[in-house]
């Protein structure tokens, strides 16, 4: 076989790129095959072999670059075709690579017809003449192998074109019965499928039948064939000389091939298809092999064991073929034909000297398929190096003798040398490419380093940015928190306002409620006053009758027969003081047995009409006098008047000196009038000079106020004026003096105010405020002749009104007439033998330390005795409550143990007001009282009894009417 002449380098670009391509060193050894463009017809191979016994390259490689006619935007090809269409340059990012082939066809420029005419037709002609040719379609899936082999409806593929060429075209005439052109050839066609390393006969099925040629029907299962030698045993074949018929049948059975949709191809052939067309008349044979795709498993997207196994089996055929090619090319002693069914069936094609192999490498111009394209081209380049050598058992060659063998060996060595040279060149080229790639790599590494540096710079800057962002976020958060805080503050403010508003409302409600209560009380008071007025009217009449019946009254009536004038004068005097005096007048029935007493005080607002005269007097004359702080007037009656008068005169003189204060009688319109001592004021009610008139006008008295002794003179003058209006004589003065004399006789009043004495009339100042009415208890006590008249039921005032209370505490023991006389006789003596005791509660938070009473006891009395008197005074309630005495000198405020009371004398109690005969008994309730002011509370209690500090709080200040 003559070496393939080196093609004239006529660069031709796939995409208008013209690059001069280097020739492969062994191109001169290539098999020459006809091409449509080749002007030189293919020489007879046998002749060539005889002429030049050089090594034979049985494999020729043609590149076929597919097209994408359906795509509008076709991918930019990375393949460059040389102008002589003998080599392909594959461009990559790092360089390019050239592959020298026996021909290259670009589908976009050359259709199947042109391609067939250019690269296939000559081979088909050789088959017609008796040659053996194998045309293999090799390449990755989707590269256009099946398309090239079988074509499409518009463009028939190699199979049908070859049939037509071999059998000749059938024209109209032929179809009407005339002999077709070229008719005479007879062909036998077998269609085999190699799937999963099994050979199936696509023309046969297990159901049998067919069109007389073992034609398969429907979906009948395929017949599996065994390999016998280098052929499929018992393979069915189509025989005939009608290309059309055979082509149609082939087209039918071709569809029986196992195809499957993969990621690379919608209808990917999963099997190798082999169409064996034999021309028995001339011994020609054409094997058309459409190989399955040489894709790898991952690229095919096969999932599952079976699919992977399938792909592996497909690849097994491809790999085995690759090894066979490499073995042949390498001149190995053993070629692994039996590694797969495909290579077993192709073994004859490689070994038979008359057999030629045309390998069509199908490739895609798509850059995505670049690596597959390179792999395919590398495979083709290797196949191209195959030299048919001595390893192939060739009877013909062995029969040629030693000379021939030497030639063969020589050529083989030469081929090997060339191959080595080629490998060295390839190695150098690769080294060069590697260096270029290395340079490129260095460049890329530099770029990467610069990019890294930029990235680091960015990262370094990032924190600054992030810090700003953090600050911004912090500020935002701060703002949000501020807003929330303000909101909460507003809510709190709102709540506080609401709370204050609520408190205000409550206070207002309370004030309103209190005002209403006050109004009710006022109304009630008015009602009581009106009732009082009514009752006083009647009581006045009765009293006047009583007064009229008594000598005292008569005398007063006589004295003040023209009382209107005196009243007017007295009223004139009252204008300056505006503090009228309310006077209780008590008649005493002389020194003997006590007679009826008449009281003209009605400050309780209740007429004691239901009581006896004596009771009335006792109830209405409130025992609100402190020691010496009361006004008492005694009128002498009957025949002893002068004597009494004389005595009174003396006493008046004495009392004027002694007395320092005068009681005030207040009636402020409430149910409980109060006392007030005001040295700056002194007033005597005009009705004072007549008990009758007093009784009549008592309800109009607000209070009486008598100053100290120095003011007494003024009072006397005033009284003089009163007397002089009626009687200018000195008798009037004398009477007034009598009044003041009695005012100072507190002891007498203290002991006898509740007792009617026929010889004397006591005029008292009554606390109207604190003693609205004596209780039933007190009345009973008095009537029963008890020694002490308690006033527990009297309304007590607070400490600030202590002075008023103090007056009230001046209630005294009730005694019989005899006792009274005795007391009178022993007045001075009793002063020495007895002591006065002021009794009060201990001051505490709950209890303001209200005063209870004032008692007189014998000097050697014990606290036990005093307890009895106090218990009688306090009544049942206080007895229940219980109390203990406080020795106020004790800084701890410890009370006296009850068992020790019998051993402690009353005189041991603290002295009150620096008077040795007045003691203070401070009681502590037994029940728990909060004593927050310990230990000084006990001592503080003493202060309340300072006489000189008696005062009246403004709210209890008297008011004039």
Ligand X SMILES: Nc1ncnc2c1ncn2[C@@H]1O[C@H](COP(=O)(O)OP(=O)(O)OP(=O)(O)O)[C@@H](O)[C@H]1O
Contact residues toward ligand X (CB under 6 A) are 66-67, 69, 107, 139, 141-147, 152, 265, 268-269, 292-293, 362
Q: What is the chain's length?
A: 961
834-841 vs 915-925, strand pairing mode:
parallel
Helix, strand, or coil here: 624? coil
Contacts of 151 (CB under 8 A, 6+ apart): 112, 157, 158, 159, 160, 161
Nearer to ligand X, 147 or 313 (CB): 147
Q: How far is the CB of 64 from ligand X (least distance, A)?
A: 7
Q: How far is the CB of 108 from ligand X (least distance, A)?
A: 8
Contacts of 123 (CB under 8 A, 6+ apart): 33, 34, 131, 133, 135, 286, 356, 358
Contacts of 400 (CB under 8 A, 6+ apart): none
Q: How far is CA 239 from CA 176, 279, 289, in A?
A: 21, 10, 19
**How buried is 871 (Cβ within 10 angstroms: 0-12 exposed, 13-18 middle, 19+ buried)?**
middle
Q: How far is the CB of 324 from ligand X (least distance, A)?
A: 20
Contacts of 436 (CB under 8 A, 6+ apart): 94, 95
- 144 in a known ligand binding site: yes
Q: How far is the CB of 139 from ligand X (least distance, A)?
A: 6
Q: How far is the CB of 77 from ligand X (least distance, A)?
A: 13
Nearer to ligand X, 123 or 147 (CB): 147
Nearer to ligand X, 293 or 691 (CB): 293
Nearer to ligand X, 2 or 360 (CB): 360
Nearer to ligand X, 62 or 582 (CB): 62
Nearer to ligand X, 182 or 367 (CB): 367
Q: How far is the CB of 138 from ligand X (least distance, A)?
A: 9
Helix, strand, or coil here: 249? helix
DSSP 149: H
**How buried is 92 (Cβ within 10 angstroms: 0-12 exposed, 13-18 middle, 19+ buried)?**
middle
Q: For residue 28, count other CB atoms closer than 10 A to its CB.
A: 14
- 884 in a known ligand binding site: no
Q: How far is the CB of 469 from ligand X (least distance, A)?
A: 55
Cα 771 versus chain centre, distance: 68
Minimal CB distance residue for ligand X: 144
Phi, psi values for residue 383, rounded to 5°: -65, -30
Nearer to ligand X, 261 or 730 (CB): 261
Separation CA 938–CA 794 (nearest Å) = 24
Contacts of 717 (CB under 8 A, 6+ apart): none
Nearer to ligand X, 144 or 214 (CB): 144
Q: How far is the CB of 39 from ligand X (least distance, A)?
A: 26
* Cβ pair 259, 270 in contact under 8 A: yes
Structure tokens at 93: 């990012």
Nearer to ligand X, 380 or 674 (CB): 380
Contacts 24+ apart (CB under 8 A), 929-936: 929/842, 929/844, 929/845, 929/846, 929/847, 930/844, 930/845, 930/846, 931/842, 931/844, 931/845, 931/893, 932/844, 932/845, 933/843, 933/844, 934/892, 934/893, 935/891, 935/892, 935/893, 936/891, 936/893
Nearer to ligand X, 67 or 901 (CB): 67
915-925 vs 59-65, strand pairing mode:
unpaired
Nearer to ligand X, 27 or 269 (CB): 269
Structure tokens at 132: 């053996």
- 141 in a known ligand binding site: yes
- 142 in a known ligand binding site: yes
Nearer to ligand X, 266 or 833 (CB): 266
Q: Give me the DSSP letters along 195-229.
A: ETTEEEEEEEETT---SSS----TTPPEEEE-EET
227-228 vs 231-232, strand pairing mode:
antiparallel
Structure tokens at 134: 């194998």
Q: How far is the CB of 104 from ligand X (least distance, A)?
A: 13
- 281 in a known ligand binding site: no
Contacts of 208 (CB under 8 A, 6+ apart): 214
DSSP 120: I
* Cβ pair 390, 404 in contact under 8 A: no
3-state secondary structure 458-505: HHHHHHHHHHHHHHHHHHHHHHHHHHHHHHHHHHHHHHHHHHHHHHHH
Q: How far is the CB of 106 from ligand X (least distance, A)?
A: 9
Q: How far is the CB of 144 from ligand X (least distance, A)?
A: 3
Separation CA 627–CA 913 (nearest Å) = 11
Phi, psi values for residue 376, rounded to 5°: -65, -40
Nearer to ligand X, 141 or 595 (CB): 141
Nearer to ligand X, 139 or 563 (CB): 139
Q: How far is the CB of 297 from ligand X (least distance, A)?
A: 14
Structure tokens at 805: 């209370």
Nearer to ligand X, 132 or 145 (CB): 145
Separation CA 588–CA 73 (nearest Å) = 147
- 889 in a known ligand binding site: no
Q: How far is the CB of 267 from ligand X (least distance, A)?
A: 6
Residue set of the binding site for ATP: 139-146
Annotated binding residues: 139-146
């Amino acid at each position: 076989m003559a070496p393939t002449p080196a093609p004239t380098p006529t660069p031709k670009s796939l995409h208008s790129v013209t690059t001069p391509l280097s020739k492969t060193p062994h191109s001169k050894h290539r098999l020459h095959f006809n091409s449509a463009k080749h002007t030189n017809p293919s020489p007879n191979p046998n002749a060539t072999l005889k002429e030049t016994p050089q090594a034979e390259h049985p494999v020729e490689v043609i590149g076929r670059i597919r097209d994408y006619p359906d795509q509008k935007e076709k991918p930019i090809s990375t393949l460059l075709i040389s102008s002589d269409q003998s080599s392909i340059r594959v461009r990559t990012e790092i360089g390019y690579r050239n592959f020298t082939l026996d021909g290259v066809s670009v589908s976009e420029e050359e259709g199947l017809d042109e391609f067939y005419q250019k690269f296939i037709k000559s081979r088909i002609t050789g088959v017609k003449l008796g040659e053996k040719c194998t045309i293999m379609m090799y390449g990755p899936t989707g590269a256009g192998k099946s398309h090239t082999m079988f074509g499409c409806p518009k463009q028939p593929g190699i199979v049908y074109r070859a049939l037509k060429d071999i059998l000749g075209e059938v024209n109209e005439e032929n179809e009407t019965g005339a002999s077709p052109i070229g008719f005479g050839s007879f062909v036998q066609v077998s269609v085999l499928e190699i799937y999963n390393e099994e050979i199936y006969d696509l023309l046969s099925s297990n159901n049998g039948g067919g069109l007389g040629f073992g034609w398969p029907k429907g979906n009948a299962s395929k017949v599996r064939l065994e390999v016998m030698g280098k052929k499929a045993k018992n393979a069915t074949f189509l025989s005939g000389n009608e290309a059309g018929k055979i082509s149609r049948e082939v087209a039918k059975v071709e569809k029986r091939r196992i195809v499957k949709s993969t990621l690379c191809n919608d209808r990917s052939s999963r099997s190798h298809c082999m169409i064996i067309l034999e021309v028995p008349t001339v011994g020609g044979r054409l094997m058309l092999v459409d190989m399955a795709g040489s894709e790898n498993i991952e690229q095919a997207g096969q999932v599952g064991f079976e699919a992977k196994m399938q792909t592996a089996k497909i690849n097994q055929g491809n790999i085995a073929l690759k090894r066979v090619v490499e073995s042949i090319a390498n001149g190995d002693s053993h070629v692994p034909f039996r590694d797969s069914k495909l290579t077993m069936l192709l073994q004859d094609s490689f070994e038979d000297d008359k057999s030629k192999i045309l390998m069509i490498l199908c490739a895609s111009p798509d850059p995505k398929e670049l690596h597959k394209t390179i792999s395919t081209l590398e495979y083709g380049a290797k196949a191209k190096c195959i030299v048919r050598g001595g390893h192939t058992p060739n009877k013909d060659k062995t029969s040629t003798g030693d000379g021939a063998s030497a030639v063969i060996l020589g050529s083989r060595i030469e081929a090997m040398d060339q191959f080595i040279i080629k490998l060295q060149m390839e190695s150098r080229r690769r080294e060069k490419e590697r260096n270029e790639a290395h340079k490129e790599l260095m460049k890329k590494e530099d770029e990467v380093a610069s990019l890294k540096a930029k990235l680091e710079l960015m990262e370094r800057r990032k924190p600054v940015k992030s810090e700003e962002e953090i600050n911004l976020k912090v500020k935002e958060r701060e703002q949000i928190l501020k807003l929330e805080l303000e909101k909460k503050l507003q809510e709190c403010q709102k709540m506080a306002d609401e709370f204050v508003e609520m408190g205000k409302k409550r206070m207002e409600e309370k004030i309103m409620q209190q005002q209403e209560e006050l109004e009710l009380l006022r109304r009630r008071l008015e009602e009581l006053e009106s009732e009082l007025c009514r009752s006083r009217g009647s009581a006045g009449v009765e009293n006047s009758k009583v007064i009229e019946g008594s000598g005292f009254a008569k005398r007063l009536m006589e004295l003040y027969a023209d009382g209107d004038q005196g009243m007017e004068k007295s009223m004139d005097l009252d204008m300056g003081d505006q503090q009228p005096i309310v006077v209780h007048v008590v008649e005493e029935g002389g020194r003997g047995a006590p007679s009826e007493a008449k009281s003209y005080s009605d400050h309780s607002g209740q007429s004691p009409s239901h009581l006896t005269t004596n009771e009335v007097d006792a109830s209405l004359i409130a025992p609100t006098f402190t020691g010496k702080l009361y006004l008492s007037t005694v009128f002498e009656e009957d025949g002893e008047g002068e004597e009494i008068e004389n005595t009174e005169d003396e006493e008046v003189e004495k009392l004027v000196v002694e007395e320092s204060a005068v009681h005030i009688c207040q009636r402020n319109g409430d149910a409980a009038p109060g006392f007030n001592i005001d040295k700056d004021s002194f007033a005597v009610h005009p009705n004072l000079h007549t008990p009758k008139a007093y009784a009549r006008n008592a309800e109009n008295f607000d209070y009486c106020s008598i100053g100290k002794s120095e003011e007494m003179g003024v009072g006397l003058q005033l009284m003089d004026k009163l007397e002089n209006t009626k009687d200018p004589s000195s008798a009037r003065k004398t009477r007034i003096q009598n009044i003041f004399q009695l005012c100072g006789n507190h002891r007498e009043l203290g002991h006898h105010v509740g007792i009617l004495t026929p010889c004397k009339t006591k005029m008292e100042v009554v606390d109207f405020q604190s003693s609205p009415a004596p209780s039933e208890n007190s009345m009973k006590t008095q009537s029963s002749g008890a020694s002490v008249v308690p006033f527990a039921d009297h309304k007590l005032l607070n400490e600030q009104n202590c002075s008023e209370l103090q007056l009230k505490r001046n209630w005294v023991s009730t005694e019989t007439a005899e006792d009274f006389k005795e007391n009178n006789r022993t007045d001075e003596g009793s002063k020495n033998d007895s002591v006065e005791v002021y009794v009060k509660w201990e001051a505490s938070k709950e209890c303001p330390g209200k005063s209870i009473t004032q008692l007189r006891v014998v000097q050697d009395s014990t606290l036990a005795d005093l307890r009895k008197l106090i218990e009688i005074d306090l009544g049942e309630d206080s007895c229940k409550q219980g109390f203990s005495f406080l020795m106020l000198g004790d800084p701890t405020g410890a009370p006296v143990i009850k068992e020790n009371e019998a051993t402690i004398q009353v005189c041991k109690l603290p002295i009150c007001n620096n008077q040795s005969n007045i003691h203070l008994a401070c009681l502590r309730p037994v029940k728990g009282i909060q004593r927050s002011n310990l230990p000084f509370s006990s001592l503080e209690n003493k202060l309340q009894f300072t006489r000189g500090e008696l005062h009246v709080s403004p709210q209890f200040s008297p008011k004039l009417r």
